[in-house]
Amino acid sequence: MGAGSRPLSLETSKLFTYGEDALNLSTSSETAEVTVFETVDDVILNQNSSFTGITLSGASYVEGSNSALELDNGSLQVPIKYNRRPAVIDEFDFRQYTQQIEAAMLVLDDELAQITQTAAQIQELNAQRNPALQANGMTGASLSASSSLNILSGGNSGPLLINAGIGKSLAIAADQIFATTTAFGTQANQTPEQLASLQMASAVNILS
């Protein structure tokens, strides 16, 4: 139901036209009596809505008008609050929801700042790296990977000692390791038994 206005019928015989509390309405009773007329269509419409009634939360004197006259001429203004059953939307905590979004945005901003900073460092390291590496066929992916490795390990590892063929293979491997979701499944398949066997053999070789 949207905003609108409907005529109200007030039982004016029970209304004060002066007195405290501003309403100036009550006469013999403590409260004013308001009757809301409903047509059949209104009843059907209201039954299908969540509204259960209305509350008059106050009334205002219309400036410049006669207090009695405003009752006669219909210029009395009464704010109306609709009483209705709580809807789910009323229980939704928009403030908390907003705070969660703001917190998530802060995390994203922080991640983005770190990525940007890392990318700048990678570019700088690429620029400083031995140009011969690029002549050897290293791609941007492998250079980025190498630089990322450098940054992650916290040091400058210096120029690589690899030749063109190996450099190309490392570049492709780096590209696949960093850019695909199947990398671990391709190589991280050693069983604990296989590793233990190798460790034992290694220990024997060292001792012999």
Partner 1 sequence: MNNPYQAQEQLANQDAAIQRLLELYSIAIEANASGEQETLAHSLALLKKTLNPNANPALAGELAALYTAAEKAAQNKQPARAAEILETLRGFWIARTRIEKKLFFSINA
Q: Which of 45, 68, 101, 149 binds partner 1 (CB under 8 A)?
A: 149
Residue type, 165: G
Q: Does residue 170 interact with partner 1 by CB under 8 A?
A: yes
Q: Does residue 88 interact with partner 1 by CB under 8 A?
A: no
By CB under 8 A, the residues from 32 to 61 that bind partner 1 are none
Q: 25 and 59 in contact (C-beta within 8 Å)?
A: yes
What is the distance between the alpha carbons of residues 147 and 124, in angstroms, rounded to a whole number?
Answer: 9
Q: Does residue 136 interact with partner 1 by CB under 8 A?
A: no
Q: 77 and 62 in contact (C-beta within 8 Å)?
A: yes
Query: To the nearest whole angstrom, how small is the minimum distance from the Cβ of residue 160 to partner 1?
Result: 6
Closest CA relative to residue 28, chosen from 44, 12, 39, 41: 12
Q: Does residue 207 interact with partner 1 by CB under 8 A?
A: no
What is the distance between the alpha carbons of residues 139 and 177, in angstroms, rounded to a whole number?
Answer: 14
What is the distance between the alpha carbons of residues 202 and 208, in angstroms, rounded to a whole number?
Answer: 10
Q: Does residue 177 interact with partner 1 by CB under 8 A?
A: yes
Positive or negative CA dihedral for 184, 189, 190, 193? positive
Q: Which of 20, 91, 190, 207 binds partner 1 (CB under 8 A)?
A: 190
Per the structure block, which two tokens stand in for 171? 């570049």
Q: Does residue 102 interact with partner 1 by CB under 8 A?
A: no
Q: Does residue 16 interact with partner 1 by CB under 8 A?
A: no
What is the distance between the alpha carbons of residues 118 and 109, in angstroms, rounded to a whole number?
Answer: 14
Q: Which is nearer to partner 1, 131 or 192 (CB)?
A: 192
Piece of 10-18, 46-54, 120-128, 186-194 that binds partner 1 (CB under 8 A): 186-194
Residues that bind partner 1 (CB under 8 A): 107, 111, 145-146, 148-149, 152-153, 160-163, 165-166, 169-170, 172-174, 176-178, 180, 182-192, 194-195, 198-199, 201-202, 205-206
